[in-house]
Structure 1
Amino acid sequence: MAAHRPESKFAPSLWGDQFINYISDSKHGHHISTEIFGKWMDEKGNFKESIKSDAKGLLSLYEASYLRTRGEAILEYVPSFTTATLKSMMPNLGSPLKKQVERALVQPLHFGTPRIEARSYIAVYEEEEHKNETLIKFAKLDYNLLQMLHKEELRQFSRWDYGEISRLPEYMRPIYKDILELYNPYEEELAKEGRSYASYHAIERLKELARGYFEEAKWFLEGNLPPFEEYLKLGQITSTYDYLVTSSFLGIGSTRKEDFEWLSKKPKILVSTLIIGRLLDEIGSYEFETKRGQLAIGIESYMKDNGVTKEEAMDKFMELCTNAWIDNNEEMLRPSCYKSRDLLMHSLNLNRVTYAAYKDKEDGYTQPEKVLKPHIVGMLVDALEV
């Protein structure tokens, strides 16, 4: 267990630093016993009344619960307990703690995209009574420097090759063939690095994605609702996340042939990402698709199979997403089973992007102005004033 280090200049929380240590150790792949939480439980297994007045401690406990794994009975009860207690305390909280609690109750820190969360916390920390001005300045400079790098990358990605214009319609001149040809220059570069095997796996995932889209198209055109289990199996492919994760490995110079082979076997951490991507998409796009007269296959098939309402189906999807997050947490605690922790982070961060895109049952890809634009502007356009 991490050492107990109360923050200087702050009165120690009655929780000590236990939950902060739990979060830190779990995020870095270290197991820490949940027995540390037992001292704040009464004989009936409920949290003691005395802890319900410590908002900072409750917030840390709330955040820690989202890094839980299976078998951690205490932490399974924590989200509902801390959410209800923090909501009741909100009217009496001062800033910046109130802002932190408001944000956390909408989105736990573990679900957040790191750079977006960094920008948000800089603003919160500036309101702290005992803030360190030098630390704030360095944090802003770090943020702005990385933002400049992202802008340069975006400029490179956005270049248009006018020589390619002649290849566009009649009609869309085998798009599939063009996309496959996209990998030709990558193959040349990868061959120089002795990693020519990498593009093969990305292309195979792309073929698998195309086949999956074809099957889904048949469901739409025929108006058929497949059994939910059949839908979810195919939906993991058409989430596109298997293809995205595999393609992202191309840019990691340390990946080896066995890493791609491991990924092609659909390890649990990848499956958890596919499930989260598919089901949050279903929840976020349901209203928009039904208004357009489209068949929302995932939710409709679950409703049909189980005789439940739309709301009950969505609740079940959120439960499945929670279980997938727990799978992800467990796999992040087993880095010794894999070649590189960097590979695991790609799945974890893709989960975070998914959560940002489909938070609050909205579809950020269909309504980018409303959902994604604030994140994009904050990360790529507006620098922090130093």
Structure 2
Amino acid sequence: MHRPTHHKSRGALTNPASRFADRHAVDFDDGWGSLEADPAAEPARPATHLHADPARRVISRNDSPDVPFSASINPYKGCSHGCIYCFARPTHEYLDHSVGLDFETEIYYKSHAAERFEAELRAPGYRCTPITLGANTDPYQPDEKQLGVTRALLAVADRFNQPLSIVTKGALITRDLDILTRLAERNLVSVYMSVTSLDNAIKRTLEPRAASPTQRLRAITALHDAGVPVGALVAPIIPMITDHELETLVERVAAAGAESAGYVMLRLPHGIKHLFREWLAEHYPQRAEHVMSLINQMHGGRDYDSAWRTRMTGTGVYAELIARRFRLACRRAGLAERSGSRRRFALDTACFSVPPAPGEQHTLDLG
């Protein structure tokens, strides 16, 4: 049974069964008042559960024509940031979990990620290419503070001269400035900070456990001041919720030190569309119909269209208006615009080298 309930510090209001489940439950009135809730009762807060994920490999490959990388590592499955719009939510269904609260509370971490990463870099057939951290779920989500999986991966990349591109909305990234600075000195790292809104009230329900807007801007500044190439992703842009902030967001990230910026329109694949509609009904009931109307206009009358190259930006008059506004805002702010599959920061792959394994010594060339 899953009735919409707003839990403080959680984004989803329900926990629907996985679309792959063979059984689904629905609420119904059995005549005994089982659906009657005590309005004074505080709903129990869903706890976070951590699960070790002993993955044999950590580098994933993709050939999507509208994604600007071919290799990625996701230290975590699930994300306790709780962003209601997160496009990664449906991947939790492959673990027999829900796209809803399960995605925010059942967190899997790659317990031996650094060891697996090193083994893959040492493989004879490995060919160096930039690897993206955070392609699916955030590498700097809250539990990284205690688990340190992402930091361990950075340390391996540092030793092998392996270039990395990081996407995050976590201010915790500044903890790792020591390693990031070393990587940046060799042109081996770039960071994109995701900034959705500057309004704390919007952020509290939209991205309940993510860093505040001010913290993210400060993180951009800290990265810039440390010499780490940093850009910003205005993502997602949500019609009638955050779209009015577009120009201000671009201006603020530029002032904070971002060198380039990109944007992504709201995407609602699979069960996310139901979660988002529940979220709208709870937090923005008077705007809900208008919001969904604009979303439908961008996707051929549907909540989502997965067509390559347009799934990130949408189509139609409203989508074209956003594209023009963003392009003009970047021009005014002096930012390079990242678009489509084009990578803004070119990282060095030529200096990749395999260091001696533990106990192994370099052979001396005595001529």
Q: TM-score range by the shorter chain?
A: under 0.3
TM (norm. structure 2) is: 0.25
Larger strand percent: 2
Max Rg structure: 1
